Amino acid sequence: MVNQSKSKMALSKIDAEIEQVDQEKYLRQATNYYQALEKPLKYGPVIETMDQLITALHREFESNYVNIEMVNHLMLSYKSNPKEWRKYAKFDRYTYTRNLVDAGNGKFNLLILCWGEGHGSSVHDHADSHCFMKMLKGDLREKRYEYPNRPNNTVSKNTSHPHSHEGGYRHSGAGSRSARRRLAVNDVAYINDNLGLHRGGRIQVMPTPPFPCTSIVHPFDTCSVFQDNCKKTTAKVTFWSKYGVRTKLNEQ
């Protein structure tokens, strides 16, 4: 009887591991064709609070076959309410911060990213993940780049010629500039590695209050960052805070 019970537990664990692998495989494959919604779905659910957003996201990620279009809709549908997210918005004077709001049962991460004056990210990829970024306050400038030497890049109307110029500097590979986009409150940007690389940064040059945006990504521990000379390095992904509490260095 004991052996049968242990056997059932072992099989259950194997089934759960297979299900997780299947979902990850499906999500990676979906990056080959998905490019994003600009407006919420006509008949999609209305999301009025952050709690409703988190509950709806958990529901979407229960299945092996996540409806990426619905995830996009949920992010578009939610309207920013500072009373709901203020406790998660942790700032640092020296760099932008990544603050974990919900770990999504290991299937997604809901983050709030906080940007101070002059802060910006490196040019980076998303480890074959889907990334949605929604502005909660202020505005942000997103720059997109072609992914160097990637064989199956999706051709996007927002991607420039692989040799483009900006400010007199010639770029190629990871340095190929494509579209710039200014994100205002409640705007949603979407990117995956087949669409390219990106970086975010503050628009204002005069001192202004810092502001946050929220991001949802499939969990990953590392990503690739790119220098101006197109050199790629691996960076560990960390959290400045988790669930509203500052993390220690060994807990990031």
| Average pLDDT over every residue of 139-150 | 79
Alpha carbons 32 and 18: distance in angstroms, whole number: 22
What DSSP line would sit under 191-223, residue for residue?
A: E-TTT-EEEEEE---S----EEEEEEE---SEE
Q: Is pLDDT larger for residue 33 or for residue 229?
A: 33
Structure pTM? 0.74
Pairing of strands 211-217, 245-246: unpaired
In the structure, what pLDDT confidence band is assigned to residue 81 with cuts at 50, 70 and 90? very high
pLDDT of residue 159: 40
User: Are 97 and 114 within 8 A, CB to CB?
Assistant: yes
Ramachandran assignment for 85, one of left (phi > 0), alpha (psi -120 to 50 degrees), beta (any other): alpha
Q: Is 124 annotated as ligand-binding?
A: yes
Q: Is pLDDT larger for residue 139 or for residue 89?
A: 89
Q: Is 73 annotated as ligand-binding?
A: no
User: Are 248 and 144 within 8 A, CB to CB?
Assistant: no
Q: Is pLDDT larger for residue 149 or for residue 243?
A: 243
- Name every residue whose Cβ is closer than 8 Å to that of residue 207 and which is 6 or more positions away in sequence: 117
Extents of the domains making up the chain: 7-148+176-246
User: Can you name the CATH fold of 7-148+176-246?
Assistant: Jelly Rolls (2.60.120)
| Residue 190: alpha-carbon gap to chain centroid | 8
Q: Is 198 annotated as ligand-binding?
A: yes
181: three-class secondary structure by DSSP: strand
